[in-house]
Amino acid sequence: MDLHEHSALEIREGIARGKFTAQEVCERVFARIRDWDPKFRIFLASDEEGAHSAATEVDRKLAAGEPVGLLAGIPLALKDNLCTSGFPTTCASRILEGWRPPYNATVVERVKAAGAVLVGKVNMDEFAMGSSCENSAFFPTRNPWNPECVVGGSSGGSAAAVAADLVPLALGSDTGGSIRQPAAFCGVTGLKPTYGRVSRFGLVAFASSLDQIGPLARSVEDAALLLSVIAGHDQQDATSTDLPVPDYLLRLREGVKGLKIGLPREFISAGIQPEIKAALETAQKVFADAGADLIEVALPHSEYCLAAYYLAATAEASSNLARYDGVQYGLRVSGDNLLEMYGATRAAGFGSEVKRRIMLGTYALSAGYYEAYYKKALQVRTLIQRDFEQAMTKCDLILTPTSPTTAFRLGEKMEDPLTMYLSDVFTISANLAGLPGISIPCGYSLEGLPIGLQLIGRAYDEETMLRTAYAYQSRTDWHKQRPAMEETK
């Protein structure tokens, strides 16, 4: 097997046993980046020097018999909204061009301390607003399964980096589906933890009550490994929860016998691509064969998810993004006075989707409309949370498609934001309810594009969710298929 085809766990073990060195793994990563990145445009900035010194340090420690961390020598890519000390962090926005954060995000600190080799920052939709990576101010990323198609978003670079076998692990963020939807579009595994499970300190905020950082990997096992490293309380983030973090690899193999998986009837109708519907029906049989009980459940307020999300998320974004005014961060366009400088900087620095969201959010929060829009959205959010609480009294997990379609063509939805927003119709509710969700590959369309299924778990019960997803992957090999990138070189 070629080095780049190894899973994260295999890399760790190979290095520990002296089959290959961290340095060799690292060199292979950069050779592949040189070969493939010009075509798929995944990286915004790579850090060959930093990666080499991290790899050398792992090799040195092992040679000296010193202990190494859980991610020793494993290459990892970061979404470009995770702060990296002294290293550019742009959120794929012109307004942050040239900004170098003075500190690392907590997740970055944790993966570094665990010995991961950070290879660079990858593309995303500007400020994580989007579902295709086409809202990046720099360039869209192309799908390794078909370069004419989008990678999904907003963590599209993270999903593509894993799908193209450039790295076995990546971190993304998910506010309404941004880890799970690109994972589905690129045929990889993507997990959004429970709100509060992972520290958001150093994640550039989009919608603070919905944002959560999580792993993307080629398998549930590798995702579990990375989650074990990043999960847990952090004093720097008051919304991170002080609950013990299980070793997520420990109970993966316990199976799903007796677990109840709920199928929400509301999710099965809404304009799903027929191949996705069929793949999901086949997946249900796999879960049933593994010993799970499949039952129907109701999530009656599902049809209001999208509307509630696009009010709550934009309201929070309009407030979070007020800080980019040309004073403290990145771009400054001068003007005759302070107000003109603010205006000129924001006009030049933000892309059109970000501006649209700031305007929507500002409107929803303004006097006279606050009660009618923002407050209503929060009330609906409570109803959606209750739907899940109610459903979860009958089942342990909920099974849905990840997205209503497979990856669409570049450019196809750019003129129509509403159809773009529909991409997240199945993922948003987990963010509104704060629950963990995972997307895993469950088939391919006739065109050969990956299809993803989503499992939503109980709050803080990532363990059951991972165990169920693992049971599926141990019975299927969808997640082992690789894109034929050579054919389209």
CB environment 140-162: b (16+ within 10 A), e (fewer): bbbbbbbbebbbbbbbbbbbbbb
Rounded to the nearest whole angstrom, what is the least distance from the CB of residue 90 to ligand GLN in the complex? 16
* Residue (of 169, 172, 44) closest to 114 by Cα position: 169
Query: Is residue 155 annotated as part of the catalytic site, yes or no?
Result: no
| Active-site residue, selected from the candidate residues 178, 219, 403, 423 | 178
Q: Cβ neighbours of residue 142 under 8 Å, at least 6 residues apart?
A: 39, 40, 41, 148, 149, 150, 151, 160, 410
Q: Pattern 399-438, binding to ligand GLN, x per CB under 6 A? A: -------------------------x--------------
Out of 144, 177, 361, 483, the only residue in the binding site for ligand GLN (CB under 6 A) is: 177
Site for ligand GLN in 90-149 (CB under 6 A): 128-131
CB count within 10 Å of CB 279 equals 22
Nearer to ligand GLN, 84 or 175 (CB): 175
Cα separation, 279 vs 284, whole angstroms: 9
| Active-site residue, selected from the candidate residues 7, 79, 199, 429 | 79
Query: Is residue 7 annotated as part of the catalytic site, yes or no?
Result: no
175 scored as a contact of ligand GLN (CB under 6 A): yes
Nearer to ligand GLN, 179 or 440 (CB): 179
Nearer to ligand GLN, 11 or 128 (CB): 128
Instruction: Identify each DSSP E strand in 84-188 by its residue range.
Output: 117-122, 169-174
Cα separation, 6 vs 14, whole angstroms: 9
206 scored as a contact of ligand GLN (CB under 6 A): yes
178 scored as a contact of ligand GLN (CB under 6 A): yes
Token digits of residue 408: 């669409």
Span from 89-97, 162-170, 176-184, 337-345 in contact with ligand GLN (CB under 6 A):
176-184
Cα separation, 450 vs 468, whole angstroms: 20
State the Rg of the chain over Cα. 21
Rounded to the nearest whole angstrom, what is the least distance from the CB of residue 204 to ligand GLN in the complex? 11
Q: Pattern 303-332, binding to ligand GLN, x per CB under 6 A? A: ----------x-------------------
Q: How far is CA 461 from CA 70, 197, 243, 403, in A?
A: 22, 10, 11, 23
Query: Is residue 445 annotated as part of the catalytic site, yes or no?
Result: no
Task: Please provide residue 134's backbone torsions phi and psi, each rounded to the nearest 5 degrees.
Answer: -75, -15
Cα separation, 231 vs 244, whole angstroms: 9
Out of 174, 234, 325, 387, the only residue in the binding site for ligand GLN (CB under 6 A) is: 174
| Active-site residue, selected from the candidate residues 154, 158, 240, 429 | 154
Rounded to the nearest whole angstrom, what is the least distance from the CB of residue 176 to ligand GLN in the complex? 3
Token digits of residue 420: 């773009």
- Count of residues interacting with ligand GLN (CB under 6 A): 13
Report, as residue numbers or ranges, the catalytic residues.
Answer: 79, 154, 178
- Residues of this chain that interact with ligand GLN (CB under 6 A) are 128-131, 154, 174-178, 206, 313, 424
